A = this chain, B = another copy of it.
């Protein structure tokens, strides 16, 4: 059993974030000491680490909650976990695609700047009358 500070150190989740996770129900409420302080079990701390790894991989809190709920019976729910991961992977790839497009446009603008083009290529491009990109 550990204080919130120890749980934070061991799980890699900030104290304030741990309390936030508790508030939104993505981690269960831990035990309390007689004085009313949070008291974390090893399982609690493992759960915090699980959520952090989900977040590091870009999963939403809602997805992290879903994935955590699947950890109880592993075998049967693998298709569910796989579906969550695949949907997220598709989303990540879409975001990369969008960034690639932006990157290309910005790179072109900056390159024209380097060529000392006149007038300013950045502002020229932004003043262009275009339809929506998105």
Residues of A within 8 A of B (CB): 12, 46, 49-50, 52-54, 56-58, 67, 70-71, 74-75, 77-78, 81-82, 84-86, 88-89, 92-93, 95-96, 99-100, 102-103, 105-107, 109-110, 113, 118-120, 122-123, 125-134
Report the separation of the CA atoms of residues A81 and B119 in the bound assembly, to the nearest whole angstrom: 11
Known: A96-B103, A106-B85. A78 touches B113 (CB 8 A): yes
How many copies altogether?
A: 2
Return A86 CB to nearest CB of chain B, in Å: 6
Chain B residue nearest to A54 in the complex (CB): B126
- State which of B70, B75, B119 has its C-beta within 8 Å of the C-beta of A78: B119
